[in-house]
Amino acid sequence: MSRGNTSQTTKATLGLRELVFGGEFGPGERLPEVDLAERLGVSRTPLRMALATLAHEGVLEPLRGGGFVVRAFSRGDVADAIELRGVLEGTAARFAAERLESPDELVPLETTAAQLDEVVHSIGGDESEIERYVELNEAYHRGLAALARSPHLERAIANVLALPFATPSAILASHAVLPRSREILLVAQYHHWGLVDAIRERQGTRAEEIAREHARLSRVNLDFVLEDREALGRIPGAPLLAEAARTSTSQRKEELWVATAARETRPA
């Protein structure tokens, strides 16, 4: 593929993802190729590649007779994606603990965790503070995956992160309006340091469990968001959520919150 075609395909993919995640096309709606090509300023070939890419990511569904429709995501779909990320990141944390050659390799992760400390303890409703947290949080998770020393695992994690709502930062935009956002971030930060400790001590099993609990915290966060329309509206891709996904019960939310917050992940 020529550089020009690659550029057009990237343009089409980014533009199409923005339209779908922004709610320009609702769940179950068929995507009009001709209109989309004109709207995005690309030819049909790169647009079709973009459609195939989003179908591979699970955002679109191919039709038997040709064409694509936008997928609707249930709460269960989102929970499964988060759980799968937890499994993979848990494996990465275990590999990191087992393959650590020197404590010096943890310095980047420790530096990022320390920067997150500063943001977490000063965060309020300021959008710039949330954005800073998102940047640092994503850097932390990239660093964790890199410590696993497994290109295959890094690719698997990248594939999962392409799923809507699966990334560690997918729901963080809602924190500016969530009443319990500070509590969620504090528990998440506790996990960040717990992972550093477990990897340093070469405790692979403990590191894996902390990483999985850390991912499950996103499910708790999801339930809080689903009960707050303003918070839900801040999440990229929120229009893709099926209406049924927005009816989580307070009982389930509280049970998940208590189970996650109460679990000990770092020794005194």
Question: Hey, is 149 helix, strand or coil?
Answer: coil
How far is Cα 174 from Cα 60, in angstroms, rounded to an integer? 25
pLDDT digits (tens, 9 = 90+) for 14-29: 899 888 888 888 888 9
Please state the rounded mean pLDDT for residues 157-185. 73
DSSP-derived 3-state class of residue 140:
helix
| Token pair 């919150």 in the structure block, residue | 257
Whole-angstrom Cα distance, residue 95 to residue 147?
8
Q: Identify the burial level of 59 via C-beta atoms within 10 angstroms of its C-beta, where 0-12 means exposed, 13-18 middle and 19 or more buried.
A: buried
Place of tokens 């809080």: 224
Within the chain, residue ranges assigned H as helices are: 3-21, 33-40, 44-57, 75-99, 107-120, 127-147, 151-161, 181-200, 204-226, 229-233, 250-262
Stretch 185-197: mean pLDDT, rounded? Answer: 95
Q: Does domain 3-70 have CATH number 3.40.190.10?
A: no
Domain range 75-262, CATH class = mainly alpha
Name residue 30's beta-bridge partners. 69
Please state the pTM of the whole predicted model.
Answer: 0.74
| CATH 1.20.120, the chain: domain bounds | 75-262
Residues of the chain with CATH 1.10.10.10: 3-70
Q: What distance lies between CA 129 and its chain's CA centroid?
A: 18
Average pLDDT across the chain, whole number = 82
| Confidence at residue 175, expressed as pLDDT on a 0 to 100 scale | 59
The residue whose two tokens read 């709502």 is 165
pLDDT number for residue 97: 98
Which DSSP helix (H) or strand (E) runs through 70?
A: strand 68-70
What is the distance between the alpha carbons of residues 184 and 94, in angstroms, rounded to a whole number?
24
The two beta strands, 68-70 and 60-62, are: antiparallel
Kindly report the backbone phi and psi dihedral angles of residue 9, in degrees, each rounded to the nearest multiple of 5, phi listed first. -65, -40
Whole-number Å distance between alpha carbons of 257 and 205? 23
pLDDT tens string 214-232: 999 888 877 777 776 666 6
Reported confidence tier of residue 127, pLDDT bands at 50, 70, 90: low
